[in-house]
Amino acid sequence: MTAETINKKERPARLASESIAGRYIEAVGRRKTSVARVRITPASKISVSVNDKELDKYFPTLALQKTVLSIFDNTESKFLVTAKLNGGGISSQADALRHGLGRALVSYDPNLRTKLKVKGFLKRDPRAIERKKFGLKKARKAPKWSKR
């Protein structure tokens, strides 16, 4: 029986230890116009570098750091994380990084999918800026109306 004939449901789940010993897992996360390319490698402690900077240097506020690291509350595993971020603002970049980490963790351990899905870490946030319409000042703000 060839690999093509095996149904997806019949395939055995990959074990984390045998599938990626010493290798990394890649994923992409997005939010607004931000894109995060994330690589995770199993390690002895959690270490995150973003655009060749440490996490606390790239995201200076504690809230943004907590946004990124909140994904690791669901797993006991430790990872070396390297990410390349571009586009958008700093807050949407943090959300894009968390989205990419969620996707990478599911690739690493499929059992984490339900936990991460319930918390909303696997869903791409679809909200984006509405375009400006002609005749208006912004997307919905109209000029002051006067009767005469």
Report, as an integer, the average pLDDT of 34-51.
94
Residue 113: predicted pLDDT? 94
Enter the pTM of the model. 0.79
Give the phi and the psi of residue 110 in degrees, each rounded to 5: -60, -20
pLDDT above 80: residue 15: no
Q: Copy the structure tokens of residue 117.
A: 């899905």
pLDDT above 90: residue 6: no
Residue 148: predicted pLDDT? 85
Tell me: domain 18-119, CATH 3.30.230.10, correct? yes
CA 112 centroid distance within chain: 15
Residue 17 banded pLDDT, cuts 50, 70, 90: very low
Mean pLDDT of the chain: 87
Q: Using an 8 Å Cβ cutoff, are 28 and 106 in contact?
A: no
Residue with tokens 């440490």: 54
58-to-5, 72, 86, 117 alpha-carbon distances in Å: 47, 19, 12, 27
Residue with tokens 């994923």: 27
Percent residues over pLDDT 90 in the chain: 78
- 3-class DSSP state for residue 106? helix
Residue ranges covered by each domain of the chain: 18-119
pLDDT above 60: residue 71: yes
53 DSSP β-pair partners? 50
